[in-house]
Structure 1
Amino acid sequence: MTRSYDVVVVGAGWFGLAAAKAIRQISPHANLAILESAESCGGTWSKNRLYPGLKSNNMKGTYEFPDFPMVEKTYGVKPNSHIPGTVLHRYLTDFAKHYDFHDRIQFNTSVNLVERNGDAGWRVSVTSPEGTESITTERLVLATGLTSTPNMPQYKNADKFGAPLFHAKDFCKEAPNLNVKKAIVVGGAKSAFDVAYALVQDGATVDLVVRPTGNGPVWIAPPFVTPLKKRLDQLLNIRWMTWFSPCPWGQEDGFPAVRNFLHGTSVGRFLVSNFWKALSNDVTGAIGYDSHPELAKLKPWHSAFWIGSGLSILNYDSPLFDLVKQGKIRVHIDDIESLEPNRAVLASGNVIDTDAIICSTGWKKESTIKFAEDELGLPYSTEKRRSLAQAADEKVLSLYPSLKKQPELNVKPKEANPLRYYRFMIPSGMVKTRDLAFAGMISTVSTATCATIQGHWIAAFLAGKIDRIPTSDKEITDEIMLHTQWGKWRYPCGYGADLPDLVFEGLPYCNMLMKDMGLETHRKGSRFQELTSPYLPADFKGLVEEWKEKHEATEEINGVEVEQLAGALKKAQCVLAALALLEEAGHLSFSADANSLDYAFRQITSLFVGVVQQRRMDRSFDITTDTGAASIHGGIIPLEPLNPKAKLRTANQASTNNDSDAQLNPPVPEEENASSAQDSNGLGISKTRGVIVIVTLAGISFLNTMGSGILIAALPKIADDVGLSENLILWPAAVYALAAGCLLLIFGAIADVVGAKLMWVTGSFLFVAFTLAVGLAQTGIQVILFRTLLGASISMCLPTAVSLIANTFPKGPWRNVAFAINGMGSPLGYALGLVLGGIFTDTIGWRWAYYMSAIINFCLSTGAIWSLPSVYTPSERKWTTRLMHEIDWVGATTMSVALGMLLYVLAMISSSYKRLDDPQNIALLTVAIILLAAFPFWMDYQVKRGKPALIPNSLWKNRSFTSVCIAVFLCWASLNGIEYFTTLYFQKVEGLSALESSLRFLPHVIMGVAVNIITGFLIAKVKVRTLAVVSALVTMVAAPLMATVDVGENYWLAPFWAMFLSPVNPDVLFTVSNLVISDAYPPEMQSLAGGVFNEVAQFGNSVGLAITAAIAASVTEHSNITERQEALMKGYRAAFWAIFASCSTVTIVVWLGLKKGGIVGRKQD
């Protein structure tokens, strides 16, 4: 009698067990059978495939099912440990028993043939110890593994070899009977390394033959990589890491813009390319391939980008590569030409005596299971499939141009003929019948997670409960072709041309399947964790229960699908919100029940559109309802979903509440309400959000100058690494100031039109990209280029910070602290950059300083999207029209060109004061002076015509503003000069290393932090004039201390105090200046005023460095001192005295200019 089942799963490895578990949970009453050809479950880890020393690539925590953790007390595996094969076999067996389907597994049962059973599913021919029989099943899951059929080479005269010759798959079976002293292992895969290591442990000597016609030795990495020593099996499952791999389902992770930038733009592709180079160099450097000639033969032939499943992890008890150095494993880049008795003749002519040959030569893509149907793939002719493949190729390469330049292979790539399955699981013809699925994929580190989610997806698919399935054959075909053809281009050195090889794409692939099932893909506790914390199996715990809860909620209620009801609810919300706006605009009174909502929705549109054009939209929304009807009072159109915690009220209750805020905003839970009342206290936003705004804006200010500090400290090493010539060594610093100085005013003006937040966020994300690019740069020209683009990016952020702070915080302590901390960011960032630059340069490398900066900046930029307020001037004009007519483009161009020329000349003078005699510099300086002189006349002309003026001359009529600009110019010139020449003093005169010099700047950092904190509190109690004058007098002492210091003098006598006192005035003045601007100008001029202020500061930096460098160089050259250090010191002393003069002038300017300056930080009600 033929046995019949509802569902049959073939295979009891990771994927088969995961599918069986999900089927049991989703369809608990289904008659289920699992067929397994081995004598035990586990697939690769079944009992008959184990041998001593076999371990997993993964470590504990990444190789376990989400709902069945591998408890240390039970299995004895400690954290950060590889898992022995025997433990994995026991674990997988326990998993099947725990979920009560172990007794449904029919062991020693292999499948011979699968054929259609009419319209009733499938007929399966099986062979077991009892004989051959047929079973029937309505639904079939094949989880036999994608690489279960060994690819065994056919050697000439193999029949004469007379010794063991077998595939590595059978090593576990053959190993107990092997008694060899010499063995050959063929292949460069991880299994070849495993077999070679095991043989050596048993006392044999191994000749490892890596075929030159293959893809070379496997990429084998240490378990902990990067200078931060992160676990590789976790690193590849961090979301931001997956962005660097182009794949057509990548957008499923919710960050399409980032992926489009990285793979769709030239700059992004440059970052991606260098990222993979850095990662590859880190791994190869950690192994030390170049340290030994035999080891060098095992160095991977291709970049890590192309390898796919060719990536593996060292998991041996003792160092594998030491065996190569000791000669116990000899490496041959060769192939076996023929065999003789106990000998192998290589293609090179060399002969190796051996007692056995084990072939680790890969796997065939075809399954051992045969289908009666000829074609399970796409039901098209060969010509049609070729045409579809060509179209898919073109689309892949248009989406990912970086894939066009394929690696040069030693073997001709075969024509891609992959398994053409939907989502890599369902033959196209079975997408609609939903009765057949293939489970399995190739992944080095995410097998457990992918098996779990694939198994769940298959169980839901077979039950007819997948939320997102294409409806047309064309959609199915197009997606199958795109996804499967992509593999040929992405992983030519792996299985990409044949099988789903998803080493770096496993997480977005799982996200795609989860979205198909309507499950949440972002499962971390915060946005920061979402991007930086690895996704482990534990993050997907309870998926089936989560899905069942959701699916049960969409069952029919009174004959109506809840999904339809949800759509109706959204429609109702829009209708009610529109009615609220109409009621507010035209005193319309309306009450609607459920039956009238759809009619209202259709009828309201034309009337609503007219009202929207007249009224400004708000982001708040309030809905009030009772059991039988819904009505609205005072609501506004929702631009965000309703707060699910909002309490519902009747219209009468709403109208009796006299608090307009309560009517216009959704109620919040009592605990939130309590904290909100405490947090706001006149602030207008929560304290948490206020703190985030401050940290975000100050953070960019900090990172801005930190990059410059890192550059100064690491410049000699950077120049060596990227080949920056001596005549260009100052350019990375100069072009940054040049670009920022040219564009500050333009972007400040644009920000007043398009909005400060949009400008700031755009600039900050560009700053992330180009900071990372500097770290990845390979040539001096690239460093200069990306530093230029960095300067352009930061010029979008600096002028808008003043407006953002002023519009976030009302006058009072919060605004004072915000400006103080923002002011602290700039000098603190530069000083800390000097420290970190030295530390990184002398330890893990200067590049990591920029990587760290980019990561921090990305987190700040992401948080800014939510935290920063939207600041813009309402206007009926389109923003494009406003850009054309409300910005003085002639004035902006004039000033930018003038400043650019002037900054360029100053940069040239900084390298050598004699450069001022160069004809081109004289010409540029002359033109710059003429343009600057003409600029005020153009401003006056524009104002008289009633046209926009970039910097109206009236701006300078405010005495306080003019005074602080002059003071900031001189102050920043002094600060940059003293930091620069003190660094030179430490390194060139005292001969200290970059690290030692950096540590001497720590007092500078500490004092900068303290001064800004103190200023934030004093500003509301002390007159700005007093603060500015006293701080100027304190800082004025620093330069003379360095000008009179004796070479070799104790650090604590003079340099310490110079470092300690020098940041006082700049930090105080920065806070004071920003408060003066926010007080003196209306919101629509604050970005412009902020741009002018930052332009002055940036210009001061350049002028200060140029003049002091010219003075120092001139004095040194004319000193007639032969001893190099003494000559340099004489020039440095002159520079320090010039800085003292500048500081003294600051004191006079603030004393006179802020005479009428009162207390600007006092709270305003």
Structure 2
Amino acid sequence: MCLLDGRDDVPLRRIQRRKGGHCALNETTHGISDPAPAEPIASPHDLTTSEERPSTRHFVAVISALSGIQLLAMIDGTVVIFALPKIQNELGLSDAMRSWVITIYVLASGGLMLLGGRIGDTIGHKRTLILGAALFTFTSAMCGVAWDGGVLVAARLLKGVAAAFVAPTAMALVATTFPKGPTRNTAVAVFGAISSVGSVVGLVAGGALAEVSWRLAFLVNVPIGLVVIYLAATALRETNKKRMKLDAAGGVLATLACTAAIFGLSTGPEKGWLSTVTLGSGLVTVAAFAAFILVERTAENPIVPLTLFFDRNRLATFAATFLTGGVTFTMAVLIALYVQNVMGYGPMHAAIAFVPFAFATAVGAGVASRLVTRFPPRALVITGGIVLLGAISCGSTLSRGAPYFPNLALPIVVAGIGLGMINVPLGLALIASVRVDELGPISAIAVMLRSLAGPLVLAVIQAAITARTLRAGGSRGPVKAVNGAQMHALENGFTYGWVCLGGVVTLIGAVALLIGYTAQQVARAQEVKTALDVEGR
């Protein structure tokens, strides 16, 4: 087997592929190699060889289809954030129903993403992409014409299922469609750039469209989706299909457990924590989670191999990754709601105000990238957590009349830097001390954990905000209907919510103390991963 950390006295220099598909980590002085087979992540020779270079026209058509659907899937996770207040006011949603508009999409897409990737391997990636894009386009139209909250949430649920199909399939098609060399490198660069800017584009586009009408934020996907379907049908070739038993039960149970937990948390403040609905949701959560563990232990191809959680360092890294994903998602939603419902910003103004967060995150990631080979991951995670706590402390003192700069801009920028410093060491710690054939499953699990964490942490914080607001004399309904005293209660609730979110950040630091990887292990793992990326694996 190929380990990504190796011994302390064995620097990893390069990776070579042996005949027969074996992997060896070669060292010029020690001559160390390990003959165990490693599974390639993707093989471009299913469709093309290095000599078969696509024409420029074909390249543009393929990358437009793949990047287009990836951009739509990413944008839809953020595009609705700054439209939430308008949606709530127009449809008369409660705070709990308002949260479901955004969380149900993230739940479905994150919970079913691993299953969506397996379906692409089974029935063919091209077919999966077209079916997913068609469902995504149809549900976008349904969201745009939704006449009440129930229809909107149902459409968002199906849209999340579609995103779970298209996101991993698009990534797989980038690897299997283009041959090794400059062509694939260019395709990967374009695809990666689209993924990087997707969240920012979603925020700004969502704010701009919601300024006119929140329905446009959904309807704009329809013509783009139709173009993607046409390009995929005409430019893509079908991939080889693999016969495997799908772990559909595992994907459904994981999503059901998270959904039941969020439902109970969101209804608790309104229905009562000892109500039949809340307690029933808790029982469903426990039963679904227990069934999920049982299914994954016996499944032929589990979506979550439980053996990957047996290592203490890796388990702590998974836990910190989960909590960090939850904090990031929750912070974005809370800022969007606060600046519009309390400070009176419009959707476009609110979206632009949040853009510095994305750039600050990149700055924090750049700083952490330079330090990660000198300091252990837990040191950087804790440092980033302290920076993030400082930003949250400043944000909790905001008031309705506070100016954007520096009262709001400074905490947003500092929070972005802190999160960037946390994400980089966690991402590298995930691939420390793993076999090459474990890279794919571990990366997929990390994506799923980050996706599911957002709705769960948001549900907890939103429940705290709602309970505090109601105790202070506030209301559950749309903000447009509240009076001055109720607005003060809402402001008090948000302040309490920021304090609770700070508690989650503190928990990240506590969990990080259990991550025992050294800076040397992380540096060697990064060296091997870079070599694998160069090989196109």
Q: TM-score, normalised by structure 1?
A: 0.35
Contact (CA 8 Å) 2:136, 2:163: kept in 1 or not? Answer: yes
1:1157 paired residue number: 522
The answer to whether the aligner puts 1:847 opposite 2:215 as a matched pair is yes
- Residues 956, 829 of structure 1: alpha-carbon distance in 2 compared, 3 angstrom cutoff: farther
RMSD: 4.6
- Residues 906, 859 of structure 1: alpha-carbon distance in 2 compared, 3 angstrom cutoff: farther
- Between the aligned partners of 1:1085 and 1:865, the Cα distance in structure 2 is 31
Question: By how many angstroms is 1:975 displaced?
Answer: 2.1
- Residues 892, 729 of structure 1: alpha-carbon distance in 2 compared, 3 angstrom cutoff: closer
- Between the aligned partners of 1:819 and 1:965, the Cα distance in structure 2 is 26
The structure 1 residue matched to 2:343, chosen from 986, 990, 994, is 990
Question: By how many angstroms is 1:963 displaced?
Answer: 4.1
- Between the aligned partners of 1:1024 and 1:804, the Cα distance in structure 2 is 36
One-letter code aligned to 2:108: A
- Between the aligned partners of 2:277 and 2:120, the Cα distance in structure 1 is 34
- Between the aligned partners of 1:866 and 1:1031, the Cα distance in structure 2 is 47
- Between the aligned partners of 1:797 and 1:896, the Cα distance in structure 2 is 18
Q: Deviations 1:958-983 (Å, cap 9, x if unpaired)?
A: 66654443223212221232222223
2:77 paired residue number: 705
Contact (CA 8 Å) 1:747, 1:799: kept in 2 or not? Answer: yes
Q: Deviations 1:546-603 (Å, cap 9, x if unpaired)?
A: xxxxxxxxxxxxxxxxxxxxxxxxxxxxxxxxxxxxxxxxxxxxxxxxxxxxxxxxxx
1:895 paired residue number: 254
One-letter code aligned to 1:1042: G
One-letter code aligned to 1:1124: Q
The structure 1 residue matched to 2:278, chosen from 921, 931, 943, is 921
Q: Secondary structure at the match of 1:900?
A: helix
- Between the aligned partners of 1:759 and 1:797, the Cα distance in structure 2 is 7
Q: Secondary structure at the match of 1:777?
A: coil
Alignment of 1:37-436 (within 5 A): none
The answer to whether the aligner puts 1:1053 opposite 2:412 as a matched pair is no
The answer to whether the aligner puts 1:908 opposite 2:267 as a matched pair is yes
2:136 paired residue number: 767
Contact (CA 8 Å) 1:831, 1:1005: kept in 2 or not? Answer: no
- Between the aligned partners of 2:367 and 2:66, the Cα distance in structure 1 is 15
- Residues 770, 1024 of structure 1: alpha-carbon distance in 2 compared, 3 angstrom cutoff: farther
1:719 paired residue number: 91
Q: Secondary structure at the match of 2:405?
A: coil
Question: By how many angstroms is 1:824 displaced?
Answer: 3.2
Question: By how many angstroms is 1:738 displaced?
Answer: 4.4
Contact (CA 8 Å) 2:339, 2:350: kept in 1 or not? Answer: yes
1:1133 paired residue number: 495
- Residues 936, 810 of structure 1: alpha-carbon distance in 2 compared, 3 angstrom cutoff: farther
2:109 paired residue number: 740
The structure 2 residue matched to 1:932, chosen from 289, 293, 296, is 289
2:31 paired residue number: none
Contact (CA 8 Å) 1:741, 1:900: kept in 2 or not? Answer: no
1:785 paired residue number: 154
The answer to whether the aligner puts 1:824 opposite 2:196 as a matched pair is yes
Question: By how many angstroms is 1:1069 displaced?
Answer: 6.2
- Between the aligned partners of 1:901 and 1:907, the Cα distance in structure 2 is 10
Residues 1102-1111 or 811-820, more deviating: 811-820
- Between the aligned partners of 2:375 and 2:126, the Cα distance in structure 1 is 31
Q: Secondary structure at the match of 1:846?
A: coil
Q: Deviations 1:292-327 (Å, cap 9, x if unpaired)?
A: xxxxxxxxxxxxxxxxxxxxxxxxxxxxxxxxxxxx
Q: Deviations 1:774-827 (Å, cap 9, x if unpaired)?
A: 123344443233222112111223445665567679899989967964663564
Contact (CA 8 Å) 2:473, 2:486: kept in 1 or not? Answer: no
Question: By how many angstroms is 1:1106 displaced?
Answer: 1.2
Instruction: Report the count of equivalent residues.
Output: 470
1:66 paired residue number: none
- Between the aligned partners of 1:1074 and 1:823, the Cα distance in structure 2 is 17
- Between the aligned partners of 2:86 and 2:499, the Cα distance in structure 1 is 27
- Identity over the aligned pairs, expressed in percent? 16
Question: By how many angstroms is 1:840 displaced?
Answer: 3.0
Question: By how many angstroms is 1:889 displaced?
Answer: 4.3
- Residues 934, 1145 of structure 1: alpha-carbon distance in 2 compared, 3 angstrom cutoff: same
Contact (CA 8 Å) 2:108, 2:255: kept in 1 or not? Answer: no
- Between the aligned partners of 2:70 and 2:376, the Cα distance in structure 1 is 21
The structure showing larger relative contact order (alpha-carbon pairs under 8 Å, at least 6 residues apart) is 2
- Residues 796, 922 of structure 1: alpha-carbon distance in 2 compared, 3 angstrom cutoff: same
Question: By how many angstroms is 1:1136 displaced?
Answer: 0.8
Contact (CA 8 Å) 2:82, 2:350: kept in 1 or not? Answer: no
The structure 1 residue matched to 2:392, chosen from 1016, 1020, 1039, is 1039
Contact (CA 8 Å) 2:82, 2:347: kept in 1 or not? Answer: no
Task: Flag structure 1 segments of 5+ consecutive residues without an equivalent.
Answer: 1-615, 622-660, 676-684
One-letter code aligned to 2:215: R
The answer to whether the aligner puts 1:1145 opposite 2:502 as a matched pair is no
Contact (CA 8 Å) 2:65, 2:228: kept in 1 or not? Answer: no
Contact (CA 8 Å) 1:973, 1:1102: kept in 2 or not? Answer: yes
- Residues 1091, 770 of structure 1: alpha-carbon distance in 2 compared, 3 angstrom cutoff: farther
- Residues 1078, 701 of structure 1: alpha-carbon distance in 2 compared, 3 angstrom cutoff: farther
Specify the structure having the higher radius of gyration (Cα).
1
Question: By how many angstroms is 1:1110 displaced?
Answer: 1.6
Q: Deviations 1:742-769 (Å, cap 9, x if unpaired)?
A: 5334334433433555434432332122
Alignment of 1:646-665 (within 5 A): 665=52
- Between the aligned partners of 1:810 and 1:1041, the Cα distance in structure 2 is 49
- Between the aligned partners of 1:734 and 1:1078, the Cα distance in structure 2 is 29
- Between the aligned partners of 2:318 and 2:187, the Cα distance in structure 1 is 20
- Between the aligned partners of 1:1112 and 1:951, the Cα distance in structure 2 is 33
- Residues 714, 1110 of structure 1: alpha-carbon distance in 2 compared, 3 angstrom cutoff: same
Q: Secondary structure at the match of 2:344?
A: coil
- Between the aligned partners of 1:756 and 1:1059, the Cα distance in structure 2 is 39
Task: Flag structure 2 segments of 5+ consecutive residues without an equivalent.
Answer: 1-43, 475-483
Question: By how many angstroms is 1:1152 displaced?
Answer: 4.3
- Between the aligned partners of 1:765 and 1:897, the Cα distance in structure 2 is 24
Contact (CA 8 Å) 1:744, 1:795: kept in 2 or not? Answer: yes
One-letter code aligned to 1:796: F
One-letter code aligned to 1:716: Q
